[in-house]
């Protein structure tokens, strides 16, 4: 958990195709959900029991067609700083170009595990052409075809072999982990500083997990948990950094290591695509969520109407998951700061909530009787029994029925909403499974 593999290379060598191929190896992870944009760039891969995140650097460049050398070099630099292993994708048909040489030169100095991926080797005859990539001095090139998937299994074996093992030192106690995420400059650091305040002696910095999330133990006012700070920890490297890209990689690591994410939105700037991106990563990792609109002290119109409009706007952007608390705060004036932590704790408790089987059936079966799943081609779905799965990171419920495959997404969502009406799962995702009796 927590390993990040970056894909680098010049445009048009097939980085995104490779990305899709790798993330879909075992299960289709890149899903085209409505509303998640640019969603190709981050995926999770599981291979032989090892899980890692994969990031396609190409997609983050803003000016699509005319990607300049500098832009690519900058991305390679960032990938080198942030990733645990790097896939350097080249095109076996075109062979070595100046730009490739350039990138290889930077990578040689990185000291990170580098795998050269010679892509577009669509048939075996082409493999011989890959020998010219030995000139990079980065070891054996791996011939693959991202389009038809040949040899990608070997590539995954290689990745699993080179990524660092067991670099995660978990904090000692099993406490809730609460992470503050958000765009650069939304006020993450100031929020964390106001949380920690002057009672410095309570803070213990456990530099654990990843290189750049610092676990701070927080216990006062009867709350006890780890705050995972993603903001401003790293020294500014030699990189003139691409803020968006950097903050996304950093957020990914932090989100994966947390239970509850506090997503900070800048009240003056509103919801931006970056916020939606971070939200989609939180959702993919099935983490609980509290949304905080920061810098509320700077907003002129604080009427109920304005607040309502704001909440609606946030829910529309993050739909269909809308059951999460939204707080209006100011980190500098400490307005409602404590409320944030209280809410995060509540959301964490909701995440742990267990509903007794008897109660579940007593409440849900009458609802289902009243509005059964729509019939499909004259077949009626009968749901007989419901239970909550033990353990698991988020509340998961199994509905036993005769024809699980006919229960479609809208009805699952209906069931989820009914459960949310009856039990407090605010802020936390829940899973609904249909199983045959």
pLDDT tens by residue, 377-413:
888 889 999 999 987 788 999 999 998 888 888 999 9
Token pair in block for residue 403 = 């024809």
Closest CA to 378 of 343, 360, 403: 403
Place of tokens 């990185």: 110
% helix / strand / coil in the chain, to the nearest 5?
35, 20, 40
CA–CA dist 252, 213 (Å, integer): 11
Helix, strand, or coil here: 142? Answer: strand
CA–CA dist 299, 267 (Å, integer): 7
CA–CA dist 248, 143 (Å, integer): 30
Structural contact between residues 360 and 386, judged by C-beta atoms closer than 8 angstroms:
yes
Confidence of residue 226 (pLDDT cuts 50, 70, 90): confident
Instruction: Output the furthest CA–CA distance in the chain (Å, rounded).
Output: 70
**Range from 33-42, 269-278, 349-358 that averages highest in pLDDT:** 349-358
pLDDT tens by residue, 71-108:
666 667 777 777 889 999 999 988 888 888 888 888 88
Taking the model in full, what pTM does it have? 0.67
Place of tokens 């981050």: 42
User: Assign residue 236 a region: left if phi > 0, alpha if psi is -120 to 50, beta otherwise?
Assistant: beta
Could you write out the DSSP letters of every residue in 58-120? Answer: GGG-SS-S---HHHHHHHHHHHHHH-SEEEEEEETTT---HHHHHHHHHHHTT-S-EEEEEE-
Place of tokens 């990524």: 163
Q: For residue 330, give the DSSP letter.
A: B
Confidence of residue 312 (pLDDT cuts 50, 70, 90): very high
Residues 6+ away with beta carbon under 8 Å from 290: 260, 261, 262, 263, 324, 325, 327, 340, 343, 344, 347, 427
Closest CA to 216 of 202, 233, 231: 202
In percent, the amount of the chain with pLDDT more than 70 equals: 78
Place of tokens 């960032």: 78
pLDDT at 319 over 50: yes
Q: Average pLDDT of the chain?
A: 79
Q: Which residues pair with 46 in a beta bridge?
A: 51
pLDDT tens by residue, 143-170:
998 888 888 889 999 999 988 775 554 5
Helix (H) or strand (E) holding 364: helix 357-370
Q: Are β-strands 214-220 and 205-207 bridged in parallel, bridged antiparallel, or unpaired?
A: antiparallel
Token pair in block for residue 175 = 């406490």
Structural contact between residues 415 and 399, judged by C-beta atoms closer than 8 angstroms:
yes
pLDDT at 32 over 50: no
Sheet holding 326-328, edge to edge: 205-207, 214-220, 223-229, 177-182, 260-266, 288-294, 326-328
CA–CA dist 34, 268 (Å, integer): 27
Q: State the angle between helix axes of 243-256 and 273-284 in degrees (0 to 180), rounded to the nearest 10.
A: 20
Confidence of residue 247 (pLDDT cuts 50, 70, 90): low
């Amino acid at each position: 958990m927590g390993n990040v593999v970056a894909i680098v290379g010049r445009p048009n060598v097939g980085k995104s195709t490779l990305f899709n191929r790798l993330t879909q190896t075992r299960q289709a992870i890149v899903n085209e959900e409505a509303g998640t944009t640019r969603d190709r760039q981050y995926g999770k891969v599981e291979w032989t029991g090892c899980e890692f995140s994969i990031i396609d650097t190409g997609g983050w460049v803003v000016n699509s067609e005319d990607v300049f050398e500098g832009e690519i070099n900058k991305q390679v630099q960032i990938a080198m700083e942030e990733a645990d292993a790097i896939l350097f994708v080249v095109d076996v048909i075109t062979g070595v170009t100046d730009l490739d040489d350039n990138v290889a030169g930077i990578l040689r100095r990185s000291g990170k595990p580098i795998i050269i991926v010679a892509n577009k080797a669509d048939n075996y005859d082409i493999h011989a052409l890959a020998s010219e990539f030995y000139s990079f001095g980065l070891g054996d090139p791996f011939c693959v075809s991202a389009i038809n998937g040949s040899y990608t299994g070997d590539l995954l074996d290689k990745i699993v072999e080179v990524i660092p093992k067991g670099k995660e030192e978990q904090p000692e106690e099993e406490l809730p982990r609460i992470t503050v995420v958000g765009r650069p400059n939304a006020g993450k650091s100031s929020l964390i500083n106001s949380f920690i305040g002057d009672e410095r002696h309570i803070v213990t910095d456990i530099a654990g997990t990843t290189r750049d999330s610092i676990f701070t133990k927080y216990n006062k006012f009867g709350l006890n948990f780890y705050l995972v700070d993603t903001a401003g920890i790293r020294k500014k490297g030699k990189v003139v950094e691409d803020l968006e890209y950097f903050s996304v990689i950093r957020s990914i690591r932090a989100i994966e290591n947390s239970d509850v994410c506090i997503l900070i939105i800048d009240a003056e700037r509103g919801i931006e695509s970056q916020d939606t991106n971070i939200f989609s990563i939180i959702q993919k990792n099935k983490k609980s969520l509290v949304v905080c609109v920061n810098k509320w002290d700077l907003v002129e119109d604080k009427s109920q109407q304005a607040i309502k409009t704001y909440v609606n706007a946030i829910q529309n952007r993050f739909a269909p998951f809308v059951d999460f608390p939204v707080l209006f705060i100011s980190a500098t004036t400490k307005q409602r700061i404590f409320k944030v932590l209280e809410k995060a704790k509540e959301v964490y408790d909701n995440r742990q909530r267990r509903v007794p089987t008897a109660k579940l059936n007593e409440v849900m079966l009458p609802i289902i009787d009243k509005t059964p799943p729509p019939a499909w081609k004259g077949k009626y779905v009968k749901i007989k029994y419901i239970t909550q799965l033990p353990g698991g990171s988020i509340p998961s419920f199994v509905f036993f029925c005769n024809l699980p495959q006919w229960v479609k997404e809208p009805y699952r969502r209906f069931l989820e909403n009914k459960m949310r009406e009856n039990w407090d799962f605010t802020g936390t995702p829940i899973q609904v499974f249909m199983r045959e009796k």
